[in-house]
Amino acid sequence: MGNIHSKERILSGMRPTGEMHLGNYVGALESWVALQEQYENFHLIADYHALTTDLDTSKILDNTIEMIIDWLSVGIDPERSPIFRQSQIKEHSELHLIFSMLITTARLERNPTLKEQIKDLKIANMVYGHLGYPVLQAADILLYKGNLVPVGEDQAPHVEITREIARKFNSVYGEVFPIPRTKLTSFSRLPGLDRNKMSKSLGNTILLSDSEMEVKGKVMKAITDPQKIRRGAPGRPDICLIYTYQKKFNNKETKDIYSGCTSGALGCVDCKMKCSEAISKKIEPFREKRKHFEKNRNEVIDILEDGEKRANVVAKKTMAEVHEAMQLG
């Protein structure tokens, strides 16, 4: 049993939240596109995970389509990297149930990512499924025998739970699952326009679909160094949100921008203009590609259905191995 596929395999996914923003791109999508060259990638629409914090399912399909359009627009290749919905591969639920027998509630309650979510979302009464979120995530990863999990630092504790569950299953029933490794994304978090975590619910995002004018308008309103109140005043780029964006999207000019800001020669308006131009240049090809898929949504549905067929083949094979190892027939 174990891992017999030729390339190392990656399972990555997101909740279906609709259109993607720069934070999604920097924190995940950019890495996913690059990893396609070296690994066998599977991309999951985590629609069951979405239920842990919102029971309204009326927008899930529309949000799924919008999200996939952005994935395709930035360069996810569905021929190499199947895209599929968690809810359409029933083996996710079965493996989640089996894995839930291999971990204690005390271990799940110690999960620092869960504690942070409860605090951020102000959750007073946590549902059973939210506590078990990392167990379902373990099933997502191990169903496809993922070797590597690209995540931001905040998700690393979830991967550790996956590793523990894989080791536990293998020790009790025999070697079926690889022990996945965490791959931290190099630029894991891009702050929102108000310095908080970039989130559509906070209204502090730049969308990948934003026009050049929309990007400019948002960047011009962004918070900078509060001590740099006029041109000529020295600034502190290390604490400036716009400089953070410059480092990511305008890296060739950052040395000059840093010296210009600290000396006072570069004003905030000019700096923001440079920043908005760099961001627009980066996302312009995404916007153009997005137009094609917006006009051809049936093509997106076809890509999704094809991905689900291919994922289903892998999932059934893994569960057959699980049943054999557990002597369940």
Q: Give every strand in the sheet of 181-184, ordered side by side.
A: 83-85, 40-45, 9-14, 148-151, 181-184
Predicted pLDDT at 2: 44
Taking residues 301-320, report their average pLDDT: 98
Predicted pLDDT at 186: 66
Taking residues 64-88, report their average pLDDT: 97
pLDDT band of residue 188 (cuts 50, 70, 90) is low
CA distance 140 to 315: 10
Predicted pLDDT at 187: 61
* Residue 235 vs residue 42, higher pLDDT: 42
CA distance 158 to 193: 28
- Range with the poorest average pLDDT among 42-51, 106-115, 243-252: 106-115
Which architecture, in CATH terms, is 9-190+296-326?
3-Layer(aba) Sandwich (3.40)
Query: Residues 161, 135: contact at Cβ < 8 Å?
Result: yes
- Range with the poorest average pLDDT among 144-158, 215-229, 294-308: 144-158
pLDDT band of residue 218 (cuts 50, 70, 90) is very high
pLDDT band of residue 152 (cuts 50, 70, 90) is confident
Q: What is the pLDDT of residues 235-288, one digit of tens each?
A: 899 999 999 999 999 999 999 999 999 998 999 999 999 999 999 999 999 999
H/E element holding 151?
strand 148-151
| CATH value of 209-289 in 3.60.150.10, 1.10.240.10, 3.40.50.150, 3.30.540.10 | 1.10.240.10
Taking residues 146-164, report their average pLDDT: 86
Quick check: 151 pLDDT over 90?
Answer: no
**Environment class of residue 164 by beta-carbon count within 10 Å: exposed (0-12), middle (13-18) or buried (19+)?**
middle
List CB contacts of 204: < 8 A, sequence separation 6 or more.
192, 193, 194, 196, 198
pLDDT band of residue 1 (cuts 50, 70, 90) is very low
* Residue 185 vs residue 197, higher pLDDT: 197
Quick check: 295 pLDDT over 60?
Answer: yes
pLDDT band of residue 3 (cuts 50, 70, 90) is very low
N-terminal to C-terminal alpha carbon distance within the chain? 16
Token representation of residue 311: 């994922």
| Residue extents of the structural domains in the chain | 9-190+296-326, 209-289
Query: Residues 249, 187: contact at Cβ < 8 Å?
Result: no
Taking residues 205-214, report their average pLDDT: 97
Predicted pLDDT at 154: 73
